[in-house]
Structure 1
Amino acid sequence: MAEDTDDQREAAGLAARWELLSGRPDRTVHITDAQAIRAIAHEARQRVIDVLFTDSGRAFTATELAELTELTPSAMSYHLRALERWGVVERAESTGDARNRPWRAAGTRLEVRGGADPSARAAQSALFELAVDQYRERYDWYRSWPAERRHGFVGTGQAEFWLTEEEAARFLLALERAELELMESGVENRPGPGKIRTRWFFSLLPVAGERPPERAERPAGPEEPASGHDKEPTA
């Protein structure tokens, strides 16, 4: 049995730390269905997803979520039921009025993959375009701030790297580790004095025109011949 790589061990360690932080088992909610992707490609629902998955260990009532996302409680209830239908959110245990039962993320992280299905890929493109449009809107809003207030709240940048698949995965792990360390430092991810709502947007994508690299062959183990031609003949 092959041993785990350093990156695999680190990923497992990060998952364990997320579990400890959220108080919930680490679980990824996978969205692959075209209708489900279209359902979450909605600005208001993305705001709900941001709140619930960023603080996945906490449950929120529809009223609380409405206040955080600047929606009406009735609109919030509608969006929550739509997200529940596709397994993105779930109802948490109620400790008070059952009519205002709290909601929480159905997992600790959300992964959207359209796969080869054309309709699902089109829906995922729409979701990505929504994210880009929201980023552009936020950037334009930030530009309206007085220059002396901009420092510290905004960071943008880009770079180009030649990476193997393993190096790209390591880069993504480093970003996840940075986010986790911020949360572990005691930062309370909720409104408070001097705080404003922020959002980070990141993508690691091949440059247009690049083709998928050929996968390197797995090195032969100590008891495993490099190829069929090297095997000893059988009687």
Structure 2
Amino acid sequence: MAEVGQEPRRITDPKMMRALAHPARLAILEHLNTTGEATTATEFAEIVGLSPSATSYHLRELAKAGMIQEAPSRGDGRERVWQSPAASWGLDMEADADPETRAAEEALLATYLDRDQARLRAYLARAREEPPEWNDAAGLTTSTIYVTPDELKAFFEAVRAQIEPLMQRNRKDAPPEGARTVRVHFAAFPDD
């Protein structure tokens, strides 16, 4: 059984992409990869806002696709506990992908972007209610840079290196006083 913390896994199978292209399933996998904590269907139900039985269905679908797996029991073995076999998942958009794979990629990316845009909009709607120190620290910016592919890759890797030690799963046992969950949405892409 793989443990959370290994190298990121790549999603290449359209079946896996379709399984993940659902807001509840994306939230389940995000929770597992963010926290690294094994979680039950009842606990997930609170996170995704569904009933435990509906959540169990989504867990089974993710397990069928190989995105999650059963974790060792936390007690008497009566409840199923789930974990992710990887610390994170990534998507490679291959230029020569067949139409089925392209459609699955597009569905997954649309679900992912819809979720992140909804989070950003929710924050912007409440930004004035945030404590000043949080409102001053948060940011939204767009910059246009002029780079080669190698420079863009190095830039992206440098940003990832800054984020990695601050990730929730890496600080969950001893977060600094006053720390909150903060979403970092970063995109770098060619713009014609």
TM over 0.5: yes
Structure 1, unmatched stretches of 5+, are: 1-22, 209-235
Q: Which residue of 2 aligns with 1:95?
A: 74
Bigger drift between 157-166 and 83-92 goes to 157-166
1:164 equivalent to 2:148? Answer yes
Is the contact made by 1:33 and 1:114 (CA closer than 8 Å) also made in structure 2? no
Cα distance, 1:90–1:130 mapped onto 2, change above 3 Å = same
Cα distance in 2 for residues equivalent to 1:31 and 1:130: 15
Number of aligned positions between the proteins? 183
Change in Cα spacing, 1:154 to 1:207, as seen in structure 2 (3 Å) is same
Q: Answer yes or no: is the 8 Å Cα contact 2:10–2:90 preserved in 1.
A: yes
Question: In structure 2, how many angstroms separate the alpha carbons of the residues matched to 1:126 and 1:142?
Answer: 25
| 1:176 matched to 2:160 | yes
Matches within 5 A, 1:1-235: 24=4, 26-56=6-36, 58-115=37-94, 116-145=97-126, 147-149=128-130, 151-152=135-136, 154-183=138-167, 187-188=171-172, 198-208=182-192
SS at match of 1:98: coil
Change (3 A) 1:186 1:104: closer
Equivalent position amino acid for 1:143 in 2: L
Distance 1:62 1:168 in 2: 40
- The 8 Å contact of residues 40 and 82 in structure 2, kept in 1 or not, is answered as yes
- Paired AA for residue 177 in structure 1: A
Larger radius of gyration: 1
SS at match of 2:156: helix
**More displaced stretch, 141-150 vs 193-202:** 193-202
- Give the Cα–Cα distance (whole angstroms) in 2 for the partners of residues 88 and 155 of structure 1: 32
The letter of the residue matching 1:134 is R
What TM-score do you get using the length of structure 1 for normalisation? Answer: 0.67
Paired AA for residue 126 in structure 1 = A
Q: 4+ residue runs of structure 1 moved beyond 6 angstroms? A: 193-196
Rounded to whole Å, the distance in 1 between the matches of 2:13 and 2:43 is 29
**Cα pair distance change 1:25/1:53, threshold 3 Å:** closer
**Matched residues in 2 for 1:113 and 1:146: separation?**
34
CA RMSD of aligned residues (A): 2.9
The 1:146/1:118 distance shift into structure 2, 3 A limit, reads closer
| Percentage of matched positions with identical amino acids | 32
Gaps of 5+ in 2: none
Contact 1:26 1:108 in 2 (8 A): yes
Query: Which of 1 and 2 has higher RCO (CA within 8 Å, sep 6+)?
Result: 2
